[in-house]
């Protein structure tokens, strides 16, 4: 930790040196009433922001910062309060302004990083005149997700920032993602402002949290701000600290324009909207800009800031963060991490982002086979708004045509499915998620297997070795003896239910985070599931050899519960190669659903038939056996852990 501390100090002094804004003597803290009453006139939202107005904010009057924290420590609530404080949004807009997606509102989690531009008047005492000096600042705030699956979003957001508010719950203290996020920010050389939030809670213990921050990150306790995003207490300290402790963005105002493409999404009416951070120069409406990745040139149709909705300004200057709309037809053209620059100039591309590593793969198929085109369209649209999913077409004997998708984790996969349903009305069946394994054949060729069905043990090739991905897991158990545990674990073991189990055995107290690590040699086998003797390719899994027997039995058992009895007997088997390791039989059903409709009530009969049809939509027919979607979902829980 000593090395880290020295690094940290060096980073901080470099950051201070970068901040060429004169160091104010002491900030005047805004009165608390500002937080509870209407925002003052200069902070009220304005209908638009003109180019000349934006021109009044050179880099030294700009601060770009992010809010990072462990899940639920209060990032989005704090972001809301800051937006209210600066008059960017009105009070009483409803919860979590920046969590815009339905899935975010329903789950109460942030999935997508969101940027908002605020205007803020900073007032400092002037010891010479014994009065006060005020200057206006443009602040770009990026609210980031807290869950480990979305740390890629966090690391991307940090590239556009020079500082971060590290929010820590005053009662829970430092948790696993606090550590992960601190290091993401620290490695990006950001100035870190610790914010101990939720001090209104009866169990709040800010002194203890300060001691943890000192011990783990060498943060001076006097640097910590104490806030309650709920009551407003202490919030007036936050923006003055942002101005004073975070350096302004670097960049050359006189160079041709060069910007980093931070994110992109597709809007039905406006087309592709790119979020950008201007590193050098200025971009104006009508300008021609080129992509360093594709060399394509586009005209700037619209440019502006997120205030917090898209607000056209006609221009963006050095250090500013905003949006640009060009003639891009698909987000495939808008590559995240790309450098956009003035057309016909040669520029040094910006470093961009580290490539996404997909941890979990799963097949996504239409619940109703005829809907493939609709699903294809929905996936294309959604991947436009979530570029961290990888998609390739695949065909399954059991499920027909579908897609193999790569995700950052299981929550990410879940959210993707939910968004497909909610935002695009797609009904999907997903297959058991798997991690990417590596297999070596006798001729020393290696393959990465993202779909267990694709692994062939007997196609004339002998498998000589296998490797599986591992992670370094950090677990914090804040009991009487607070402990930080670090383990290397196989990725497969943590992708399903591990977190829930950890929470349940620690009464909800343990927190968990992981980072990907190297591949490790392992003894793996492919297990097939057979229904009436037919292998269901979509249910094949790769599993540790010594667990195969137990998991096979559980899988077969589970399937028996989920597959409805049909007019004939069904045998359910788990097999490794030609060896059956578990077997169950589902006896034939005698009555059919319409048998209940005695008396010939036609409306009732129709209703029942419709209900049956609805149910069928979520079924997949394998051979002659109907399998409900839940069966696929439940299988993944069994096939992962234990
Ligand atoms: N008592 C108290 N509750 C707070 C405070 N700040 C936030 N909360 C509550 O804590 C919960 C989580 O807050 P969020 O702002 O959603 O947390 P988050 O860090 O953005 O969560 P993710 O986006 O999922 O990572 C919500 O129920 C908030 O109302 C606070 O200062 N005091």
Note the pLDDT of residue 112. 66
Q: Lowest-confidence range among 65-69, 143-147, 421-425? A: 143-147
* Mean pLDDT value of segment 144-150: 69
Which atom of ligand 1 is found nearest the CA of 99? 23
199, 226 in Cβ contact below 8 A? yes
DSSP structure string for 521-535:
E--EEEEEEEETTEE
Give phi and psi for 569, each to the nearest 5: -75, 145
Identify which has the larger pLDDT, 354 or 555. 555
Q: Which helix (H) or strand (E) holds 206?
A: helix 206-217
Report DSSP letters for 270-316, one per residue.
Answer: TEEEEEEEEEES-EETT-EEEETTT--EEE--EEEEESSSEEE-SEE
555 pocket-lining for ligand 1 (C-beta < 6 Å): no
Measured in Å, residue 368 CA sits from the centre of ligand 1 at 40
Give the pLDDT of residue 566: 74
The closest residue, in CA terms, to atom 9 on ligand 1 is 74
Task: Give the pLDDT confidence score for residue 226 in this predicted structure.
Answer: 98
Task: Report the CATH number at residue 185.
Answer: 3.40.50.300
**Confidence class of residue 627 from pLDDT cuts 50, 70 and 90?**
confident
Average pLDDT over residues 363-370: 77
Full residue range of the structural domain in which residue 101 is found: 51-245
Q: Is 177 in the pocket of ligand 1 (CB under 6 A)?
A: no
* Model confidence at 633: pLDDT above 80: no
Q: Which two tokens stand for residue 304?
A: 């502006």
Bridge-based pairing state of the strands 225-226 and 191-197: parallel
Short-list 156, 152, 155, 179, CA closest to 168: 179
Which residue's CA is minimally distant from atom 11 of ligand 1?
72
Q: Give the pLDDT of residue 479.
A: 62
Question: The domain spanning residue 578 has which CATH number?
Answer: 3.30.70.2570
CATH number, position 422? 3.30.70.870
Which atom of ligand 1 sits closest to the CA of residue 227? 31
- Structure token digits, residue 21: 């804004």
> What tokens does 296 get?
């394509």
Q: How far is the CA of 150 from the centre of ligand 1 (A)?
A: 18
Q: Looking at residue 404, what is its pLDDT?
A: 92
Q: How far apart, in whole angstroms, are the C-alpha atoms of residue 526 and residue 557?
A: 19
Tally the domains of the chain: 5
Q: Taking residues 536-557, what's their average pLDDT? A: 88
Closest ligand 1 atom to the C-alpha of 146? 25
Torsion of CA 176, 177, 183, 186, to 10 degrees: -130
pLDDT of residue 163: 96
Does residue 87 sit in the same domain as residue 219?
Answer: yes
- Given this model, what pLDDT does residue 150 score? 72
Q: What is the pLDDT of residue 308?
A: 85
Q: Are 149 and 282 found together in one domain?
A: no
CB 77 less than 6 A from any atom of ligand 1? yes
* Within-domain flag for 368: yes
Each residue's pLDDT tens digit, 454-503 = 887 555 667 889 999 999 988 888 766 778 889 999 988 887 668 777 87
Statement: the pTM of the whole predicted model exceeds 0.90: no
Residue from 70, 74, 82 to probe ligand 1 pocket by mutation (most atoms less than 8 Å from CB): 74
Q: How far is the CA of 229 from the centre of ligand 1 (A)?
A: 8
Token pair 């600042």 is at which residue?
137
CA–CA distance, 325 with 304 (Å, rounded to integer): 9
The last residue of a domain, from among 494, 522, 550 = 522
The answer to whether the CB of 352 falls within 8 A of the CB of 337 is yes
What is the percent of the chain with per-residue pLDDT over 70, rounded to a whole number? 78
For residue 626, pLDDT beyond 60: yes
Helices first, then strands: H and E counts in the chain: 16, 32
Q: What is the CA radius of gyration of the chain?
A: 28
Q: Is 145 annotated as a binding residue?
A: yes
Residues 133, 209, single domain; the answer is yes
Which one is predicted more confidently, 627 or 178? Answer: 178
For ligand 1, the distance from its centroid to the CA atom of residue 502, given in whole angstroms, is 22
State the complex-level ipTM: 0.98
CA distance 407 to 298: 31
Query: What pLDDT, on a 0 to 100 scale, did the predictor assign at position 3?
Result: 42
Task: Note whether 370 and 338 are same-domain residues.
Answer: no
If asked whether residues 468 and 499 sit together in one domain, one would say yes
| Residues 424 and 442 grouped into a single domain | no
**Known binder of ligand: residue 147?**
yes
- Write out the H or E segment, with its range, that includes residue 33: helix 33-36
Tokens standing for residue 557: 């058992």
Is residue 42 one of the residues assigned to a domain? no
Question: What is the β-pairing status of strands 62-69 and 163-169?
Answer: parallel
Mean predicted confidence (pLDDT) in 141-162: 76
- Ligand 1 centre and the CA of 76: distance in Å? 7
DSSP state of 537: G
For residue 145, report the distance from its CA to the centre of ligand 1, in Å.
12
Q: Is residue 332 part of a domain?
A: yes
Residues 536 and 570 in one domain: yes
- Using CA positions, which residue lies closest to atom 14 of ligand 1? 74
Token pair of 600, please?
Answer: 């010939």
pLDDT tens-digit series, residues 300-318: 999 999 988 889 999 999 9
Ligand 1 center–CA 111 separation, angstroms: 15
pLDDT at 357 over 70: yes
* 146 marked among binding-site residues: yes
- Tell whether 84 is covered by a domain: yes
Q: How far is the CA of 633 from the centre of ligand 1 (A)?
A: 30
User: Which residue lies with its CA nearest to atom 21 of ligand 1?
Assistant: 72
73 is in an annotated binding site: yes
Q: What is the dihedral of CA 455, 457, 462, 463, to 10 degrees?
A: 50
**Does residue 610 surpass a pLDDT of 80?**
no
Ligand 1 probe mutation, 76, 144, 166, 511, most atoms within 8 A of CB: 76
Domain end (from 407, 430, 453): 430
3-state secondary structure (DSSP) of residue 346: coil
**Binding site membership of 198 for ligand 1 (Cβ less than 6 Å):** yes
**pLDDT tens profile 374-429:** 899 889 888 877 777 889 998 887 788 899 999 888 778 888 888 888 888 888 88
The reply to whether 393 sits in an annotated binding site is: no
pLDDT in tens, 179-198: 888 988 998 899 999 999 99
Q: Are 173 and 212 in contact (CB under 8 A)?
A: yes
Same domain, 65 and 211: yes
109 CB within 6 A, ligand 1: yes
The response to whether residue 69 sits with its C-beta less than 6 Å from ligand 1 reads yes
Would you say residue 505 lies in a domain?
yes
CB 386 within 8 A of CB 424: no
Distance 99 CA to ligand 1 centre (A): 12
Task: Examine the domain organization and report whether 443 and 421 are in the same domain.
Answer: no
Model pLDDT, residue 7: 38
Alpha helices (H) along 51-120: 51-54, 75-85, 102-107
179 lines ligand 1 (CB under 6 A): no
Please report the pLDDT score of residue 241 as a whole number.
97
First to last CA, the chain: 35
What pLDDT does residue 41 have?
40
Q: Is 368 in the pocket of ligand 1 (CB under 6 A)?
A: no
Higher pLDDT, 60 or 640: 60
The per-residue pLDDT for range 440-457, each reduced to its tens digit, is 888 778 888 888 888 875
Q: Where is the domain boundary, 342, 369, 384?
A: 342
Q: Which residues pair with 123 in a beta bridge?
A: 134
Query: Would you say the CB of residue 433 lies under 6 angstroms from ligand 1?
Result: no
Mean pLDDT of 61-78: 91
Distance CA 137, CA 414 (A): 40
**Residue 164's closest CA among 154, 173, 174?**
154
Average pLDDT score over residue span 121-129: 87
Q: What pLDDT score was predicted for residue 637?
A: 61
> 292 C-alpha to center of ligand 1: Å?
40
CATH of the domain at 315: 2.40.30.10
- If asked whether residues 91 and 168 sit together in one domain, one would say yes
Of the candidates 421, 418, 402, 401, the residue with the CA atom closest to the CA atom of residue 410: 418
Q: Tens digit of pLDDT for each residue in 5-54?
A: 443 443 344 333 333 333 333 344 433 333 333 334 444 445 567 878 88
383: three-class secondary structure by DSSP: helix
209 close to 196: Cβ distance less than 8 angstroms:
yes
**For residue 289, is it within any domain?**
yes
**Nearest-CA neighbor of 107 among 458, 470, 504, 411?**
411
Q: Are residues 387 and 297 in the same domain?
A: no
Model pLDDT, residue 351 = 77
Q: pLDDT band at residue 569, thresholds of 50, 70 and 90?
A: confident
Same domain, 236 and 271: no
- Whether residue 533 lies inside any domain: the answer is yes
CATH of the domain at 480: 3.30.70.240
Is 1 part of a structural domain of the chain? Answer: no
- In angstroms, the Cα distances linking 22 to 18, 46, 61, 246, 286 are 11, 29, 11, 12, 36
Report CA(77)–ligand 1 centroid distance (Å). 6
Q: Which letter does DSSP use for residue 356 in this model?
A: P
């Amino acid at each position: 930790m000593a090395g880290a501390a020295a690094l940290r100090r060096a980073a901080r002094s470099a950051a201070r040196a970068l901040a060429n804004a004169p160091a104010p003597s002491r900030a005047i803290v805004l009165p608390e009433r500002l937080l509870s009453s209407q925002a003052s006139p200069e902070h009220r939202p304005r209908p638009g922001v003109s180019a000349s107005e934006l021109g009044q904010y050179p880099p030294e009057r700009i601060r770009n910062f992010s809010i990072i924290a462990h899940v639920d420590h209060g990032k989005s609530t704090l972001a809301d309060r800051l937006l209210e404080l600066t008059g960017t949004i009105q009070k009483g807009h409803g919860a979590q302004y920046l969590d815009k997606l339905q899935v975010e509102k329903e789950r109460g989690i942030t999935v997508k990083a969101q940027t908002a531009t605020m205007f803020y008047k900073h007032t400092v005492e002037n010891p010479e005149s014994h009065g006060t000096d005020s200057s206006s600042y443009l602040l770009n705030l990026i609210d980031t997700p807290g869950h480990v699956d979305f740390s890629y979003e966090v690391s991307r957001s940090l590239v556009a920032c020079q500082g971060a508010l590290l929010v820590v719950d005053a009662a829970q203290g430092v948790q696993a993602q606090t550590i992960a996020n601190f290091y993401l920010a620290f490695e990006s050389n950001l100035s870190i402002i610790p914010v101990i939030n939720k001090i209104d809670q009866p169990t709040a213990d800010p002194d203890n949290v300060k001691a943890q921050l000192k011990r783990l990150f060498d943060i001076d306790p006097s640097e910590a701000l104490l806030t309650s995003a709920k009551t407003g207490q202490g919030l007036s300290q936050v923006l003055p600290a942002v101005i004073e402790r975070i350096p302004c963005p670097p960049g050359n105002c006189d160079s041709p324009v060069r910007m980093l493409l931070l994110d992109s999404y597709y809007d039905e009416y406006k087309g592709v909207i790119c979020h950008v951070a201007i590193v050098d120069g200025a971009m104006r409406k009508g300008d021609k800009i080129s992509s360093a990745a594709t060399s394509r040139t586009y005209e700037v149709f619209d440019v502006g800031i997120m205030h917090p909705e898209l607000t056209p300004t006609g221009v963006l200057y050095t250090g500013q963060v905003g949006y640009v709309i060009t003639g891009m037809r698909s987000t495939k053209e808008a590559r995240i991490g790309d450098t956009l620059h003035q057309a016909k100039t040669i520029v040094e591309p910006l470093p961009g982002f580290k490539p996404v590593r997909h941890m979990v793969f799963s097949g996504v198929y239409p619940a109703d086979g005829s809907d493939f085109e609709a699903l294809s369209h929905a996936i294309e649209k959604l991947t436009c708004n979530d570029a961290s999913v990888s998609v390739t077409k695949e065909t399954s004997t059991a499920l027909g045509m579908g897609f193999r998708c790569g995700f950052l984790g299981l929550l990410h996969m879940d959210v993707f499915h939910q968004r497909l349903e909610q935002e695009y009305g797609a009904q999907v069946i997903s297959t058991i998620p798997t991690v990417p394994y590596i297999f070596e054949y006798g001729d020393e060729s290696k393959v990465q297997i993202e779909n267990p069905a694709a692994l062939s043990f007997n196609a004339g090739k002998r498998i000589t070795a296998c490797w599986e991905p591992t992670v370094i897991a950090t677990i914090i158990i804040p009991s009487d003896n607070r402990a930080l545990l670090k383990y290397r674990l196989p990725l497969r073991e943590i992708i399903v239910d591990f977190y829930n189990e950890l929470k349940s055995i620690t009464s909800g107290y343990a927190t968990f985070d992981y980072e990907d690590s190297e591949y490790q040699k392992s003894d793996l086998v492919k297990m097939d599931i057979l229904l009436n003797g037919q292998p269901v390719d979509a249910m094949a899994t790769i599993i540790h050899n010594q667990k195969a027997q137990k998991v096979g039995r559980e899988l077969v058992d589970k399937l028996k519960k989920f597959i409805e009895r049909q007019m004939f007997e069904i045998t359910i088997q788990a097999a490794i190669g030609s060896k059956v390791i578990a077997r169950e039989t589902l006896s034939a059903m005698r009555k059919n659903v319409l048998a209940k409709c005695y008396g010939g009530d036609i409306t009732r009969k129709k209703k029942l038939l419709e209900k049956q049809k609805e149910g069928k939509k979520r079924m997949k027919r394998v051979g002659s056996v109907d399998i409900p979607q839940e069966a696929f979902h439940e299988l993944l829980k069994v096939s992962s852990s234990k």
